[in-house]
Amino acid sequence: MAYYILYLLTLSVVVCGTVLYLTRSRWLPLVPVPDYIYDRLPSSFAGDIEAGLMSSEFDTSANVAEGDTRAGLDDQAKRQILMIMRRQRVDFNEARRIYMQSHFSKNNIGPDGRPRDPKFVSFS
């Protein structure tokens, strides 16, 4: 009787584990990740490059080559961009675009960069 319960328990764990593994793309982004996990962000341009926060369109290697001693990119933006990259499984450029569009929409700016204020007047 004890072997039957052990066999049933083992089989159910294997089946549940397999189902969870195969459906991880659906439920993994819904798992809340505490902010303290992202506290150890790189604090230089070289660290940003190593963390994957660089592309051919957004190249910071010139800053590293010139010996720039600034702290690198904005920590809050880095944290949010890295979270977008991990949750949505996109590259740096796409994550940066998603971040900027959400930042623009919070400030009532359209995706094209123009304000959505009805009183806005533009002369071109």
DSSP-assigned beta bridge partners for residue 115: 109
**Angle made by CA atoms 35, 38, 44, in degrees to the nearest 5:** 140
Residue at 109 is within a domain: yes
Question: Each residue of 58-88: pLDDT tens digit?
Answer: 766 666 667 766 666 677 888 888 888 888 8
Is 51 within the bounds of a domain?
A: yes
Torsion angle of C-alpha atoms 76, 36, 47, 83, degrees rounded to 10: -60
Q: Is residue 33 part of a domain?
A: no
Task: Report yes or no on 42 lying in a domain.
Answer: yes
Our count of domains for the chain comes to: 1
Is 100 among the domain residues? Answer: yes
Residue 119 in domain: no
Closest by CA to 51, choosing from 29, 25, 77, is: 77
Whole-structure pTM value:
0.53
Q: Residue 62 domain-assigned?
A: yes
* Residue 48 within a domain: yes
Structural domain of 68: 38-113
For 87-122, write each residue's pLDDT tens digit.
Answer: 888 888 888 889 888 888 888 888 777 788 878 777
